[in-house]
Structure 1
Amino acid sequence: MTNSGCNLLALMKLIFVDTLFALVLLTVMSANTMMVASNSSSLNEEQKALLHSGWTEGRDISKHCNWTGIVCNDAGSVIEISTRRYFFIPPSELRNFNFTAFPNLIRLELTGLELKGTIPSEISTLTKLMYLDLSSNYLEGELPTSISNLTQLKLVNVASNFLRGVIPSTFGQLKCLAQLSLHSNNLEGPIPERLGYLKHLEQLTLSNNSLNGSIPSTFGQLEDLESLSLDSNHIEGSIPVEFENLFHLKALDLSHNNISGVIPSGIGQLSRLSTLDISNNSLKGPIPFGILYHCSYVQLSNNFLSGHIPSQIGNLSYLDLSNNSLSGSIPEGLHSVPYLNISYNSFVPDTHFCGFPSEALIGNKQSPSCSSPYSTIALVSLAALNCFFITTVFIWLGIGVFCPLQREYGFEERSKNGDIFSIWNYDGKIAFKDIIKATEDFDIRYCIGTGAYGSVYKAQVPSGRNVALKKLHNAESENPSFYKSFSNEVKVLTEIRHRNIIRLHGFCLHNSCMFLVYEYMEKGSLFYNLAIDEEAQELNWSKRVNIIKGLHLLSLICTIIALHPLSIEM
């Protein structure tokens, strides 16, 4: 009897365990079935949302994960929609997009699509969203405060729209935010102080709006901030002294506002600051020491700044201090700044004024006459040189007009039969056929310059030497009136031997082909090198070039006349 009771108890336990296992198995299977159904439902919702948005444009909706601009995760759920990946959608209203159908969306970039309407508050359902870019559209209305619920956001860019209203102070809750771009809208009101709580913010752009009030002092807490643009608003007050804590700041633009007070001295100690624009405000006082040393671009024009220009000058490439009340002398280091404008101030004229472009000094006291130890020597030398050239020109003109050309060149014979050509060469290695072959019969590919009467070609002759060929245009070469000028140019150049005048290697006279063979100059003409500052600097001349700048044109004209004596014959 006892054994029978024990067996019955064991049987009941076995039945209980089996039943319990079956229940657990059914529960797991049911959960999996529900999960699959849920995923399937979610995917169906995403497809429906894309269809309803009108963005399909004939695409196969069943293959939406393969669309350019859409990225899905391993489960087939959309995690990215980006027009930056060449995903085009037709203009529509943003409210037609069902945000709730995309619970796994991480990146939403719909820029430059002519989207209209407002930003729906339902955007807050994208709880995993990290990148939101709706810039360059036609969006209107106010910024929804619900965006503040997207605490995973690293980037928010709604610039270049028609948004109005104020910047929600709740944006200060976006603790992960690194970039906030709201520029070029119609936003108004003060800048929320709570934006200064965004510890990871690297770029803040609020320019081209109608913001007013002062700059929050809390901005001094943005230790990771690299770029701050608040220009073109109605901001008043002073620049917070707390800006001296922005050690990572590289670019600061506060221009075109109503900012007053002085420039905090701490800004001059920001060693990473390279671009500073606080022009068109009402700032006064001195320029902080260090600004012109650390920055490469400085724009401080149209203020009320006073005092002297700091003497410590770094690698400045752009400096505009115009329309202020600055005084004193001009630091010598400013001579190396490529762009400089210090006009309309009260600088004391001294020898440092010399060498600056006149337009950079307009509106200051009259500058003294610039002189240098080279000026007298240079002017005397130039006068003598010009006289020499002019005298030589008239001598050559006389020779060309009153003296007959030598028969050794065969010029008179050409006038009789019109078919004589001559080649003169100092080493006998240049021949007519070599010139034609080297230029492929003067193909345009070898042309390096064209003038009113001819073109210049570059050619390499069999000896390996590069030569320059000045060939008259066909119309001129067939015109008898140009023959005499050409002949006299040959006459003069064959007799000249001077290290500063290019050498004539040879010439060709033919009724359908006239050309001169010159020594080839790698750096081009003197006129080209003097006309372009960069090329002139490579000549490695001293500051005497500045002294003769106004006179070099006369020398060039004389040189041209000397080399073309009969081009002005009466």
Structure 2
Amino acid sequence: MALLTWKATLHNQTQTLLSSWLGTNHCSWLGIRCNKAGRVAHIDLQSYGLKGTLSNLNFSSFPHLLTLDLFNNSLYGTIPPNIGSLWRLTYLSLSLNNLSGTIPTEIGQLTNLRILYLNRNQIGGSIPQQIGLLNSLNELSLYTNNLMGSIPSSIGNLGNLTILHLYDNQLSGSIPQEVGMLRSLVDLELSGNNLTGSIPASIGNLGNLTILYLHSNQLSGSIPQEVGMLRSLVELALSTNNLTGSIPASLGNLCNLIKLFLFKNKLFGSIPPVFNNLTHLTVLYISDNMFNGHIPEGLCFNGLLVNFTANDNNLIGPIPKSLRNCSSLYRVRLERNQLSGNISKDFGIYPNLDYIDLSHNNFYGEVSQKWKKCHNLTSLKISNNNISGEIPPEIMDSTQLCLLDLSSNHLVGQIPVKLGNMVSLFNLRLDDNHLSGNIPPEFSKLSNLQYLNLARNDLNGSIPGGLGECKKLLNLNLSNNRFGESIPVEIGHMHNLQILDLGHNLLIGKTPQQIGELQILEILNLSHNELSGFIPSSFDNMLSLTSVDVSFNQLEGPIPKMKAFREAPFEALKGNKGLCGNATGLKTCPAKMNNGVAKKKGNKVVLLIVLLFGFLFLSLMVVGIVLLVFCKKFRNTKIEPRRVNKENLFEIWSYDGKMVYESIIEATDNFSTKHCVGKGGCGIVYRADLTSGQVVAVKKLHVSPDGDLANLKGFTSEIHALTKIRHHNIVKLFGYCSHRRHSFLVYEFLERGSLEKILSMEDHVSYFDWIKRVNVVKDVANALSYMHHDCSPTIIHRDISSKNVLLDLESVAYISDFGTARFLKLDSSNWTSFAGTFGYAAPGIYFSIAMIYFRLNYPHSICSF
């Protein structure tokens, strides 16, 4: 009866999942197991999609319960205090739900409990002292919650504890000395909190400890010598704290250590030679400290070191011989030190190497041909050193290389023609050297190139039009060279370009009209050249442009009527022949130049207008005849009724609507579930592989029982918003269809799916590192800035959440789902009901809603907000 009563309070979908809970034979129900006496002994409903609360589950009805496993559901609300009545319970897992409130003090009554998992919820408050009464506890996991306060000293009573996970909370205070009493502890993780003070010396008593994670806190003081007593330790992470002093010699006793993380502290002194004793070490992170001296000579004598990260220190001297011959290396970061030596001799051949960064050091010599023998190398960065000589053509045979940075050195000679073989290259930096000659035409083969920087060299000749084949290029910097002739019109084919810098060259002629077709260009620099004529009128359409510099050319006439030019500083426009317009430091254009032509050309304009009107008259006659014939034929053709906000039923830009409609129905097998890639409140998203080879995402809208769209307003809002937006971080709408059978929107397909999906899947999270996360934040911020400041009228999305941020294969973020979007009228008030996802909306919104409610319902009350 207790189970049925609880089931009745759960959401309808959950009750369907528990449809087997019928009759009196409760021992055969889904997730229920009984003991020999027929008493419920185990409730195992993990990952069943349960939605509801625990407040209506009468725990006192289960005096024989041993296991309660509700892991990975959608339970919310608080943990009821009467859970303490389950005094026989040995296993309790409520992790990965949406539980809130606090941990009830009655938890201390579960004295037979061996496993307690409450991790990955939204539980707040402090850890109760009563937790120390659970003497039988083996594993305690409270990580990824909102727990505050200090770690209770009573935790020292848990003598049988082997795993203690309290990471990713808001715990404060110091680590209690009583932690040293947990002699059975194998895994201790307290990272990602606000812990202060020093690491207690008592931690040396934990002789069975294999994992110690204290990183990402505010711990201070030195690393205690007692850490060296943890001889079973396999992984030690003390990074991102305020630890000072030198590394204690006792760390050399950790002969079983495999991974050591000490980065982002204030540690100083030299790296002690005791590191040579760590014969099992495979991962060593000591970056972002103040270490000086040399790299220990025997660091890789074991031949096992895989990851060595020591960037941002003050290390000096050459690379030790043991590292030179360390064939196990996979990732090496030594940038921003003071290392020296001959780069062509100090590094060997590393068959497993994937990434190496030696930038900002004092290496000299020439780029070695041996790098091409590192067959798995994808990133080679040696910028800001004293490297000389020419770029060896042999290195260009490394077809797997994705990033090559040789900038800020003393390289001479020409860019090797064989560079066109590096088909995987997406980032090439050769800037700030002494390279000469032309850009090889083979650059047109670099179809994956996104960043190209050849600035500050002695390159000459013309800019090859073949660069226009690099369709994925985002950043092109050819400034401070000696390029001549005109700007190739093919640059206008790089529709993904965000930054274009051609400043400080010898370019002549007029600015190509095609540059105005770069709809997502944000920064444009054409300064210090010999460009002449008018700035093309196509520049008026470059709505994404935020920074422009056309100074010191021979330009004349009115500046484009757009924000980037109007608000540009005078330094970005000065030094030209005769620019005019509404901008700081410029003269107002005379009336004769309103249309960009001088008075002396007036007769030609009159003639042109006469010819134009004659041509339009003839064109209208032809179009009229065609329309009469088409309309007659159209009336005789039986078509289905259409409905798109009482306008055209079906509209897909520059396509045959009927053909695309049928192609999508065919590609999705009439919207079969096997093509489904996601579900939302407004519809279901399908992947459609069209016969043309193009892959698109199709969002099929929910339809109400009477055949109308369930959310017609959202449908039209999304179309209205996306047809007015052109930004590289906003999903592209290809078209839409509203039909009594199927109503859907067609977008570009983004392979990695939503940010919500990535953050909820463990295998995806491991790939989604810190750099990618920062870039996602930048992408979303760029899109929002464009919508709020560069669109007219301004567009607000109203539902920015992880489920509405999509990622492509390169982890570039795109904002999607504009069903709740609104257009703001800047000169009037803008009222709107709440829209969005709770938990993502700004806290001030909830406050405002509460304030409005209070004033509407209690108008005579005196209150202040």
TM normalised by structure 2 equals 0.39
Report the Cα offset of residue 298 of structure 1.
0.9
| Equivalent pair of 1:292/1:298 in contact (CA under 8 Å) | no
| 1:78 aligned onto 2:137 | yes
2:662 corresponds to: 460
| Equivalent pair of 2:328/2:350 in contact (CA under 8 Å) | no
- Which of these residues, 432, 436, 451, is aligned with residue 367 of structure 1? 436
Report the Cα offset of residue 360 of structure 1.
1.0
Separation (CA, whole Å) in 2 of partners of 1:89 and 1:403: 73
Separation (CA, whole Å) in 2 of partners of 1:55 and 1:215: 45
- Which of these residues, 164, 185, 203, is aligned with residue 147 of structure 1? 203
Report the Cα offset of residue 112 of structure 1.
2.4
Report the Cα offset of residue 128 of structure 1.
0.9
**Long gaps (5+) in structure 1:** 1-42, 45-53, 387-396, 424-430, 469-521, 524-533, 536-570
2:117 corresponds to: 69
SS of the residue aligned with 2:227? helix
1:507-552 CA distances to partner (integer Å, 9 max, x unpaired)? xxxxxxxxxxxxxxx99xxxxxxxxxx99xxxxxxxxxxxxxxxxx
Distance 1:362 1:149, change over 3 A: same
Report the Cα offset of residue 432 of structure 1.
7.4
* Matched AA of 2:213: N
Separation (CA, whole Å) in 1 of partners of 2:193 and 2:326: 36
Separation (CA, whole Å) in 1 of partners of 2:365 and 2:337: 17
SS of the residue aligned with 1:259? strand
| Equivalent pair of 1:267/1:291 in contact (CA under 8 Å) | no
| Equivalent pair of 2:404/2:428 in contact (CA under 8 Å) | no
Q: How does 1:401-412 map to 2 (within 5 A)?
A: 401=615, 411-412=624-625
Larger Rg computed on CA atoms = 1
| Equivalent pair of 1:228/1:253 in contact (CA under 8 Å) | yes
SS of the residue aligned with 2:340? strand
Report the Cα offset of residue 461 of structure 1.
7.4
Separation (CA, whole Å) in 2 of partners of 1:463 and 1:120: 64
SS of the residue aligned with 2:388? strand
| 1:239 aligned onto 2:295 | yes
Report the Cα offset of residue 349 of structure 1.
1.6
Q: How does 1:319-334 map to 2 (within 5 A)?
A: 319-332=380-393, 333-334=395-396
- Which of these residues, 157, 165, 183, is aligned with residue 239 of structure 2? 183
Q: How does 1:170-569 map to 2 (within 5 A)?
A: 170-287=226-343, 288-290=346-348, 293-312=351-370, 313=372, 314-332=375-393, 333-334=395-396, 336=399, 337-352=401-416, 360-371=429-440, 401=615, 411-412=624-625, 414=627, 420=631, 422=633, 433=639, 447=652, 458-460=660-662
* Matched AA of 2:292: E
Separation (CA, whole Å) in 1 of partners of 2:465 and 2:288: 51
| Equivalent pair of 1:70/1:78 in contact (CA under 8 Å) | no
1:32-88 CA distances to partner (integer Å, 9 max, x unpaired)? xxxxxxxxxxx99xxxxxxxxx9742545323628842799xx9711111114x7x5
| 1:120 aligned onto 2:165 | no
How many percent identity over aligned positions? Answer: 28
Distance 1:402 1:450, change over 3 A: closer
| Equivalent pair of 2:327/2:350 in contact (CA under 8 Å) | no
Report the Cα offset of residue 271 of structure 1.
2.4
| Equivalent pair of 2:214/2:237 in contact (CA under 8 Å) | yes
| Equivalent pair of 2:160/2:182 in contact (CA under 8 Å) | yes
* Matched AA of 1:177: L
Separation (CA, whole Å) in 2 of partners of 1:269 and 1:458: 59
Distance 1:374 1:322, change over 3 A: closer
Q: How does 1:29-108 map to 2 (within 5 A)?
A: 56-57=103-104, 59-63=106-110, 65=113, 68-69=116-117, 77-84=136-143, 90-94=147-151, 96-108=152-164
| Equivalent pair of 1:179/1:203 in contact (CA under 8 Å) | yes
Report the Cα offset of residue 123 of structure 1.
1.8
SS of the residue aligned with 1:156? strand
Q: How does 1:5-24 map to 2 (within 5 A)?
A: none
Separation (CA, whole Å) in 2 of partners of 1:178 and 1:81: 20
Separation (CA, whole Å) in 2 of partners of 1:252 and 1:457: 57
Separation (CA, whole Å) in 1 of partners of 2:301 and 2:107: 54
1:417-449 CA distances to partner (integer Å, 9 max, x unpaired)? x982558xxxxxxx7749989xxx9767x95x6
Separation (CA, whole Å) in 2 of partners of 1:308 and 1:185: 39
SS of the residue aligned with 1:148? helix
| Equivalent pair of 1:450/1:456 in contact (CA under 8 Å) | no
TM normalised by structure 1 equals 0.58
Divergent runs of 4+, >6 A? 356-359, 373-376, 434-437, 441-444, 454-457, 461-468
SS of the residue aligned with 1:458? helix
Calculate the aligned-residue CA RMSD, in Å: 5.0
Distance 1:168 1:301, change over 3 A: same
Distance 1:294 1:357, change over 3 A: closer
SS of the residue aligned with 1:307? strand
Report the Cα offset of residue 129 of structure 1.
1.0
Distance 1:403 1:56, change over 3 A: closer
Separation (CA, whole Å) in 1 of partners of 2:279 and 2:266: 26
| Equivalent pair of 1:279/1:299 in contact (CA under 8 Å) | yes
Separation (CA, whole Å) in 1 of partners of 2:641 and 2:318: 71
1:474 corresponds to: none
SS of the residue aligned with 2:203? helix
| Equivalent pair of 1:268/1:294 in contact (CA under 8 Å) | no
Separation (CA, whole Å) in 1 of partners of 2:326 and 2:114: 48
**Long gaps (5+) in structure 2:** 1-86, 89-100, 120-130, 445-461, 469-488, 490-610, 667-689, 695-747, 750-808, 811-865
SS of the residue aligned with 1:122? helix
* Matched AA of 1:80: E
| Equivalent pair of 1:207/1:233 in contact (CA under 8 Å) | yes
* Matched AA of 2:139: E
SS of the residue aligned with 2:188? strand
| Equivalent pair of 1:109/1:134 in contact (CA under 8 Å) | yes
Count of residue pairs the alignment pairs up: 394
1:183-206 CA distances to partner (integer Å, 9 max, x unpaired)? 111111111222122111111000
SS of the residue aligned with 2:270? coil
Report the Cα offset of residue 106 of structure 1.
1.0
Report the Cα offset of residue 175 of structure 1.
0.9
| Equivalent pair of 2:135/2:160 in contact (CA under 8 Å) | no
* Matched AA of 1:299: D
1:391-436 CA distances to partner (integer Å, 9 max, x unpaired)? xxxxxx99x93995799x9842746xx982558xxxxxxx774998
Separation (CA, whole Å) in 2 of partners of 1:58 and 1:442: 64
SS of the residue aligned with 1:459? helix
Distance 1:436 1:292, change over 3 A: farther
| Equivalent pair of 1:184/1:208 in contact (CA under 8 Å) | yes
Separation (CA, whole Å) in 1 of partners of 2:142 and 2:103: 13
| Equivalent pair of 1:460/1:466 in contact (CA under 8 Å) | no
| Equivalent pair of 1:189/1:212 in contact (CA under 8 Å) | yes
Greater Cα offset, 366-375 or 114-123? 366-375
SS of the residue aligned with 2:294? coil
Distance 1:373 1:283, change over 3 A: closer
